[in-house]
Structure 1
Amino acid sequence: MSRVGLKLLFCVLWVCVVAAEGGAQRVSGRAINARASAKSLLVVTVTKGFRHRSIPTAERVIRELGQQNGWRVDFARTDEELRQKTARQQLALYDGVIFANTTGELPLADREDFLRWINEGHAFIGIHAASDTFNKGVFPPYIEMLGGEFNGHDRPMSVTLRVEDRTHPATRHLSERFAVFDEIYRICNFDRRAAHVLLAVDFDPVSKEPGYHPLAWTKLYGKGRVFYTAFGHHDEVLQADWFRQHLRGGIKWALGEERASSAPQFHGKDGRIACK
Structure 2
Amino acid sequence: MITRLTLLLAAALSLSSAFAETKKLLVVTVTTGFRHSSIETAEKVLAELGTKSGAFTVDFVHQPEGQPKNPGKPPVKGEKETDESFKAKQDAYSTALAKFNEDNKTWGDKIKAYMADKMAIDKIKDYDGFVFANTTGDLLFPDRDGFTKLIEGGKAFIAMHSGSDTYHPFRGYIDMLGGEFETHKAQVEIQPILHSPGHPITKAVPMGWKVFDEIYIIKSFDKAKVHGLLGLNAHPNEGTPGYFPVSWCKEYGAGRVYYNSLGHREDVWDPTWKEGTKDRKNSPEIAHTYQEMILAGIKWALKLEEGVSTPGNIP
Corresponding position of 1:130: 163
* TM-score, L = length of structure 2: 0.73
- How far 1:60 sits from its partner (Å)? 0.4
- In structure 2, the residue corresponding to 1:193 is in which secondary structure? helix
Superposition deviation, residue 186 in structure 1: 0.4
Aligned residue for 1:211?
242
Asked if the contact 1:148–1:187 (Cα under 8 Å) also holds between the matched residues in 2, the reply is: yes
> Cα offset for 1:26?
9.0
88, 108, 111: which is aligned to 2:141?
108
**1:241 and 1:46, CA in 2 relative to 1: closer, same or farther beyond 3 A?**
same
Conservation of the 8 A alpha-carbon contact between 1:44 and 1:82: no
Aligned-partner Cα distance in 2 for 1:27–1:219: 36
1:143-173 CA deviation, whole Å, 9 max, x = no partner?
0000000010011001111110111111111
| Equivalent residue number for residue 262 of structure 1 | 309
Alignment RMSD:
2.4
CA displacement at 1:108 relative to structure 2: 1.2
Which of 194, 202, 208 is 1:171 aligned to?
202
2:142 partner letter: A
Does structure 1 retain, via aligned residues, the 8 Å contact 2:227–2:309? yes
Write the mapping of 1:48-127 to structure 2, written as runs, cut at 5 A.
48-70=32-54, 71-78=56-63, 79=111, 82-127=115-160
Worse overlay, 67-76 or 121-130: 67-76
CA contact (8 A) 2:227 2:314 kept: no
Tell which structure's C-alpha radius of gyration is larger.
Answer: 1
Between 1:67-76 and 1:168-177, the stretch displaced more is 168-177
Kindly tell me: are residues 37 and 84 of structure 1, through their superposed partners in 2, closer, same or farther at Cα, counting changes over 3 Å?
A: farther
The amino acid of 1:139's aligned partner reads F
% of aligned pairs identical?
Answer: 42
Segments of 5+ residues of structure 1 without an aligned counterpart are 1-19, 269-276
Q: 1:174 to 1:24 in 2, by over 3 A?
A: closer
Q: Distance in 1 between matches of 2:116 and 2:308?
A: 34
Quote how far apart the aligned CAs of 1:35 are. 3.2
Contact 1:45–1:100 (Cα < 8 Å) also in 2: yes
Deviation sequence 1:73-131 (CA, Å, 0-9, x none): 00001345543332222222210000000000002121000000000000000000000
